[in-house]
Amino acid sequence: MTSAESHSSDAAGDTNGATSTSRPDAIDTAFVLRFEPQYTVTDAEAAIFDSIAPKVIKRESYKRKHFLKVAEWKSVASLSALELIDADDIDYVTAVALDEDTPNHLRLPFLKILPGVGGPLASTLLAVFNPLKFPILDARTVGVLHEFDLVDTTNPAQIDYQDYRKLVKSLAKGANCTPLDLYRALIAYSRQSSDTGKD
């Protein structure tokens, strides 16, 4: 983890007397310190952020094979449709979406021009390019944010990405972590929460 780790163990233990299975009071530093370590980074995810991301940043667009690797990790259900997209279309659309002159509010909608690309995959393509600026939109993260009364819906398709982006960046700043650390903490919490619900 990043800067959230630099906080003392007091912050990690400060759960207001809560047990390890109780719901946290807020999405803050203690939340991230508690849940982010429970997230397992898969080999595919590590390859995307460690190997593919630098290539995308340098190229300022996605090669088809890199686009499909991100899709395989984030949108496996749509993979067969995404595999039909022409390499030139992927290169062109992602180049425009990642161009420094493209307004932020147009980046995600432009990526969604590609058949089969929804908000979660489009946000992930942006996050791989710049994880500090673009958080990953995910049904599970939206569900957790809704549980904490921070968004009005559990459906990522009904979330305005610019509002979501501002919210996640603000939460990450308040928790002294990156948006990617926060994403991982939210996912880990959602898994624990769903496991608890099965009991």
pLDDT digits (tens, 9 = 90+) for 4-39: 444 333 333 333 333 455 788 999 999 999 999 999
Based on the domain organization, do 84 and 97 belong to the same domain? yes
Based on the domain organization, do 80 and 117 belong to the same domain? yes
Instruction: Please state the domain count of the chain.
Output: 2
Distance CA 51, CA 56 (A): 9
Based on the domain organization, do 183 and 116 belong to the same domain? no
Based on the domain organization, do 59 and 122 belong to the same domain? yes
Residues 6+ apart with CB under 8 A from 149: none
- Specify the pLDDT at position 66: 98
Share above pLDDT 70 across residues of the chain, in percent, rounded to a whole number = 86
- Specify the pLDDT at position 3: 43
Residues 6+ apart with CB under 8 A from 169: 133, 135, 179
pLDDT digits (tens, 9 = 90+) for 39-74: 999 999 999 999 999 999 999 999 999 999 999 999
Domain span including residue 158: 3-38+135-197
pTM, rounded to two decimals: 0.85
